[in-house]
């Protein structure tokens, strides 16, 4: 399994309790932690042209693109 930010696994699952003590009432969400290069490659492969990006300027990734 590939590692992501701070050595965490890239594939993650998070659960939310919907206000009940019953385990069956939990909702699970599966997500993948992309790094900036992976995200840009996915967007370009989808046919988007990257106009602007904030490489190395913060923890959040901001990308401006057009189709």
pLDDT along the chain (67 residues), means of 10: 63 78 79 84 93 77 86
Residues 24, 39 within the same domain: no
Residues 22, 41, single domain; the answer is no
Q: pTM, whole model, 2 decimals?
A: 0.56
Q: Please give the Cα distance from 34 to 4 (Å, whole number).
A: 7
Do 27 and 5 sit in the same domain of this protein? Answer: yes
**Are 29 and 1 within one domain?**
yes
Which residues contact residue 16 at a Cβ distance below 8 angstroms, ignoring those fewer than 6 apart? 26, 27, 29
Q: Give the CA angle between residues 14, 15, 17 to the nearest 5°.
A: 155
Structure confidence at residue 26 (pLDDT):
81
Residues 29 and 46 in one domain: no
pLDDT, position 60: 76
Number of domains the chain is built from: 2
Q: Are residues 21 and 39 in the same domain?
A: no
> Which residues constitute the domain of residue 8?
1-33
Bridge partners (DSSP) of residue 15 are 28
Other Cβ atoms less than 10 A from the Cβ of 31: the count is 10
């Amino acid at each position: 399994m590939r590692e992501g930010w701070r050595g965490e696994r890239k594939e993650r699952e998070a659960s939310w309790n919907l206000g009940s003590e019953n385990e069956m009432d939990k909702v699970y969400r599966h997500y993948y932690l992309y790094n900036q290069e992976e995200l840009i490659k996915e967007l370009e492969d989808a046919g988007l042209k990257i106009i602007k990006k904030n490489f190395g300027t913060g923890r959040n990734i901001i990308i401006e693109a057009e189709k």
